Amino acid sequence: MSLGETLREWVAQFLESMERRNYSLHSRKTYGCDLLLFARWVGEQPNLEAPGELTATVLEQYQLHLMLRTSITYRYSQPRTMTAATRNRHLAELRSFFRYLKKTCKLLSNPSLELENARQTKKLPKNILTVPEVARLLQTVPKTTASGLRDLAALELLYGTGVRRGELLGIALTDLRLSEGFVHILGKGNKERVVPMGKAAHKAVLRYLREGRPQLLRGNTSALLVSSFHGGPVLQKELLKAIRSYAKEAGIRKAIGFHLFRHTCATHMLRGGADLRSIQTLLGHANLNTTAIYTRVEIADLQKTLQRCHPREKDAPSP
């Protein structure tokens, strides 16, 4: 058996161990795809024949391969090289994989310990809705239909709590603590947190549960958000299509996606005086540095304000 084939067997065993540790299906698919890419690359190297030959130098060569490898995604018609963030994801998966191999005595040492992440810049969110735009969007949602009440509840939760797309769609009836105004969220890596809904979101959810959800429901599902087509858990495609339709009707020309409301929620809270720790807790960020990107949004806004409003910017002296 070649080393590439051996690695493919080990990847399958590693994925089984991830399943036993309750990793999500999405995570297991991502790990599997990326690690099989590594196994295929190893199989193409004529000088690699035994597991002991997987050294730090070999992994650095693979790191270089990732840097030069083109990646075509659905977003781009032209091939592009992998971003630093994507390469770092591959390296993080390799570290986990090699920890497993050492722990299960398939390897005597862990060569991935010496790998260094690629440097990456934190990109500022490109789109942030203004407060008037959010108001116009919410006003556009019909309050007289069951699907409209569902969409309003979804938008109020997105904007009011900053939940991710998967977190929103994963909310079940048992996750709601309506008497207290809280919702239980299952986030990335199966990390749990409880967040306040806020008055507007709480009101929208209550009305949807009373007047909207019973009309949409067919069969038995515990999902909070129900499809208007089949009566089961709503799919992201259906919900996003509705939200984009409301945005277009409200005259909003910005690219609309679920994450836009997460960025908007965090930015508006920061502008309103919230501290970073509170925003970190609300969004479920493991690292405060992730939350700190929103302070850079504020600095960018401040620079634009300075250029627009400061007398010396308006009437700059000649050189």
Domains assigned to the chain: 3-114 (1.10.150.130), 131-307 (1.10.443.10)
Give the pLDDT of residue 232.
Answer: 96
Give me the active site residues, please.
164, 188, 259, 262, 285, 294
Residue from 154, 156, 92, 157 nearest 118 by CA = 92
Give the pLDDT of residue 287.
Answer: 73
Q: Which two tokens stand for residue 83?
A: 């971003």
* Cβ(201)–Cβ(157) below 8 Å: yes
Query: Which amino acid belongs to residue 26?
Result: H
Torsion of CA 112, 114, 118, 120, to 10 degrees: 100
Do the bridges between strand 80-81 and strand 70-71 make them parallel or antiparallel, or are there none, so unpaired? antiparallel
Give the pLDDT of residue 285.
Answer: 79
Q: Name residues of the chain where pLDDT drops below 50.
A: 72, 74-77, 310, 312, 317-319
Give the pLDDT of residue 273.
Answer: 82
Give the pLDDT of residue 24.
Answer: 86
User: DSSP letter at 172?
Assistant: B
Which parts of the chain are beta strand (E)?
70-71, 80-81, 176-177, 182-186, 192-196
Q: Does the predicted model carry a pTM greater than 0.85?
A: no
Give the pLDDT of residue 61.
Answer: 92
Query: pLDDT tens, 99-119?
Result: 999 999 999 999 998 888 877
Distance CA 209, CA 205 (A): 6
Helix (H, G, I), strand (E, B) or coil at 118: coil
Q: Which two tokens stand for residue 118?
A: 């690629």
